[in-house]
Amino acid sequence: MTPTTDVPPLQVRELTVRFAGLTALDAVSFTARPGTVHALIGPNGAGKSTCFNVLSGVYRATGGSVRFGEHELTGMPAHRIADLGVARIFQNLALPPLATVEDSLLLGRHRLTRTGFLAAGLRLPSAAREDRRHRARVREIAEFVGLAPYLDRPAGSLPYGQRKLAELARALCMEPRLLLLDEPVAGMTADERRRTSAVIAGVRDSLGISIVLVEHDMGVVMRLADAVTVLDFGRLIADGAPGDVQSDPAVVRAYLGENHGQNHGEEGTE
């Protein structure tokens, strides 16, 4: 597969989000460098999901800036952000269970489709050519993530780990420059986690796509991430290389502190 070449940095500056007096994110800043895996971690209620929702256009920031290259994302609707090459994979599976894996992945090509409904309905040659081109790309991506043998199977019949991989493949079918992965290995067996981690590493190393991931599995984070940003109660408490962050006293306290969550409410900002 051809590497993506025009990947800009994602720059988050002083990002603040408030809900009815509750500060979910408090002046958070970090930069996801092009072609890297950047992990966003923290205990429950830290603000990770809120941050993802701002990056993907689901939430509107109260203050601060999110720039993807020359584009300011804050205030931009979700479909415009997607058009810039930002693809998000949600925690919950969203594949149509009765559609084949191939047709499910084709949904990811929707924003790249030029043929109108009329031309497709009339089966004009231009529509047929475009369909063949998209299906060839779907097969290439399925091969890349290890799903090629299952393309004609109903998506809902796949084991859980493979369905999560199919979600990742569908996002890759959008030809993204930035992938937002929300707990990509949650609920997987150890073997499924290893395989999925290998695919994510391949997306970075072979395709050059930037990845920002929220993940609770610290083993996966430490193996995959080039940089780690740690949030706690909406504030940034550490930002740097995985090894440095892992041994940071503030991070250790946030994860292991006996009183964490008891006074603030565990799910306050997620």
Output the average pLDDT for the chain.
85
DSSP lists the bridge partners of residue 25 as 17
Q: Are residues 101 and 28 in the same domain?
A: no
Q: Could you list the residue range(s) of the whole structural domain that residue 120 is in? A: 94-174
**pLDDT of the residue at 237:** 93
Return the top range by mean pLDDT from 4-8, 41-45, 112-116, 257-261: 41-45
The region that residue 233 occupies, defined by phi over 0 for left and psi between -120 and 50 for alpha, beta otherwise, is left
Are residue 4 and residue 121 in the same domain, yes or no? no
Find the distance separating the first CA and the last CA of the chain, reported in whole Å.
36
Three-class secondary structure of residue 214 per DSSP:
strand
Query: 78 and 132 share a domain?
Result: no
Alpha carbons 150 and 106: distance in angstroms, whole number:
14
Q: 188-235 pLDDT, tens per residue?
A: 999 999 999 999 999 999 888 999 999 988 889 999 999 999 999 999
- Boundary residue ending a domain (143, 174, 205): 174
Are residues 216 and 113 located together in one domain of the fold?
A: no
The rounded distance, in Å, linking the Cα atoms of 39 and 66 is 17
Which tens digit of pLDDT belongs to each residue from 61-101? 999 999 999 999 998 999 899 989 999 887 666 777 788 99
Are 183 and 67 part of one and the same domain? yes
Residues 45 and 147 in one domain: no
pLDDT for the residue 123: 59
Q: Are strands 10-19 and 63-68 parallel, antiparallel or unpaired?
A: antiparallel
Give the confidence band of 122 by pLDDT, cuts at 50, 70, 90: low
Closest CA to 180 of 65, 5, 57: 57
The string of pLDDT tens digits covering residues 155-198 is 889 999 899 999 999 999 888 999 999 999 988 999 999 999 99
Q: How far is it, in rounded angstroms, from Cα 251 to Cα 263? A: 18
What is the mean pLDDT of the segment spanning 111-122?
52
pTM for this prediction: 0.84
Same domain for 169 and 187, yes or no, is no
Tell me, yes or no, whether 196 and 246 share the same domain. Answer: yes
Domain count, the chain: 2
Residue 170 and residue 182 in one domain:
no
Distance CA 85, CA 131 (A): 21
Sign of the Cα pseudo-torsion (44, 45, 47, 53, in order): positive
Q: Which of 175, 8, 159 is nearest to 108 (CA)?
A: 175
Answer yes or no: do 195 and 62 share one domain: yes
1 and 45 part of one domain: yes
Residue 145: both structure tokens together: 């993530």
Quote the pLDDT of residue 4. 62
- Look at residue 1 in the predicted model and tell me its pLDDT: 64
Return the pLDDT at 133. Answer: 85
Question: Which residues lie closer than 8 Å to 188 by C-beta, 6 or more apart?
Answer: 160, 161, 164, 196
Q: Which CATH number characterizes residue 207's domain? A: 3.40.50.300
Q: pLDDT at position 200, please?
A: 94
Same domain, 17 and 128: no
Last residue in a domain, options 128, 149, 174: 174
In this predicted structure, the answer to whether residue 111 has a pLDDT above a threshold of 70 is no
* Residue at which a domain ends, from 174, 205, 225: 174
Residue 118 clears pLDDT 80, i.e. is over it: no
Q: What is the pLDDT of residue 180?
A: 95
Q: Which pLDDT belongs to residue 201? A: 94
